[in-house]
């Protein structure tokens, strides 16, 4: 089996990196991580990459004169590793339009809301302030405008009356760790296409074709 070659970009703890590490540890999983890049030398996720024996690299954004130069360095490292799909996993740098264009339809992100609701940062604080009854997460292809782009997978969770931003984020994170590897699998299996309306279409979805509700239990 040829496995899809993943490059994972992190800035912090890398919990979604860990979810991908665990998924790719299964030899029947159709993707493998071939490069981890952190823009921060102190990212805890680097330890996870090391522990898993994965090639990791620090591309410290503070060492570059501007965003495009930083992004070119990342692209070079990703291409040297023959990365086919870039997975943003808590990567906290805005990307240049050139980088986004270069990796168009080959770069995905996970965002802790049911997009298009609650784009941006401090999501769960805003969910609670709004009194929404549902929260969730979204895996999507990356487009120039932040937190837009074709939606591959979403999962919803209830908001509880006694939730704090932290407790809600933790509940969502559990779902992130399920749907990110699932979305990568769908892509690696060639089941995701992007239609003329810039929507991601999923072929042969097990229960409901093309639809992801909460992902099926393992």
Q: Is residue 200 within the footprint of its own copies (CB under 8 A)?
A: yes
Site string for its own copies, 118-157 (x = CB under 8 A): x----------xxxxxx-x-------------xx-xx-x-
Among 41, 158, 190, 216, binds its own copies (CB under 8 A): 158
**Euclidean distance between CA atoms 207 and 161, whole angstroms:** 32
In the complex, minimum distance from the CB of residue 9 to its own copies, in angstroms, rounded to a whole number? 24
Per-residue binding letters, 27-66, with its own copies (x by CB under 8 A): ----------------------------------------
d(Cα 26, Cα 155) in Å, to the nearest integer? 23
Find the binder of its own copies among 159, 168, 172, 183 (CB under 8 A).
Answer: 159
DSSP state of 139: E
Which residue of the set 102, 111, 140, 177 is catalytic?
A: 111
Kindly tell me which residue out of 1, 196, 206, 208 binds its own copies, with binding defined by CB under 8 A: 208
Q: Judged by CB under 8 A, which stretch of 7-15, 51-59, 81-89, 198-206 contacts its own copies?
A: 198-206
209 contributes a contact to its own copies by CB under 8 A: yes
Q: Taking Cα atoms as reference points, which of 10, 79, 73, 7 lies closest to residue 46?
A: 10
Q: Is 172 in the site for its own copies (CB under 8 A)?
A: no
Helix (H, G, I), strand (E, B), or coil: what is residue 172? helix
Residue 177 is a catalytic residue: no
For the chain, how many residues are written? Answer: 218
Radius of gyration of the chain (CA): 17
Site size toward its own copies, by CB under 8 A: 35
What is the full DSSP assignment across 11-39? SS--HHHHHHHHHHTSTTSSEEEEEEEES
Instruction: Give the CA count within 13 Å in the CB-facing half-sphere of 115.
Output: 23
Q: What angle do CA 5, 8, 14 make, to 5 degrees?
A: 140
Query: Which residues form the interface with its own copies (CB under 8 A)?
Result: 114-118, 129-134, 136, 150-151, 153-154, 156, 158-162, 197-202, 205, 208-213
Catalytic positions, written as ranges? 111
């Amino acid at each position: 089996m040829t496995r899809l070659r993943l490059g994972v970009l992190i800035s912090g703890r890398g919990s979604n990196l860990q979810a991908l590490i665990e998924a790719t540890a299964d030899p029947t999983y159709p993707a493998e991580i071939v490069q981890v890049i952190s823009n921060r030398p102190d990212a805890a996720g680097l330890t996870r990459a090391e522990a898993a024996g994965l090639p990791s690299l620090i591309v410290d954004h503070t060492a570059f004169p501007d965003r495009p130069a930083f992004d070119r360095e990342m692209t070079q490292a990703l291409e040297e590793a023959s990365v086919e799909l870039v997975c943003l996993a808590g990567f906290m740098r805005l990307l240049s339009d050139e980088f986004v264009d270069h990796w168009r339809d080959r770069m995905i992100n996970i965002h802790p809301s049911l997009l298009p609701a609650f784009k941006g940062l401090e999501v769960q604080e805003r969910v609670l302030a709004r009194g929404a009854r549902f929260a969730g997460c979204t895996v999507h292809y990356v487009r120039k405008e932040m937190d837009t782009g074709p939606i591959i997978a979403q999962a919803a969770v209830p908001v509880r009356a006694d939730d704090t931003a932290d407790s809600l984020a933790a509940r969502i994170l559990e779902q992130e760790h399920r749907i990110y590897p699932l979305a990568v699998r769908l892509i690696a299996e060639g089941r995701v296409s992007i239609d003329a309306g810039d929507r991601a279409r999923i072929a042969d979805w097990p229960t409901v074709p093309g639809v992801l509700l909460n992902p099926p239990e393992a």
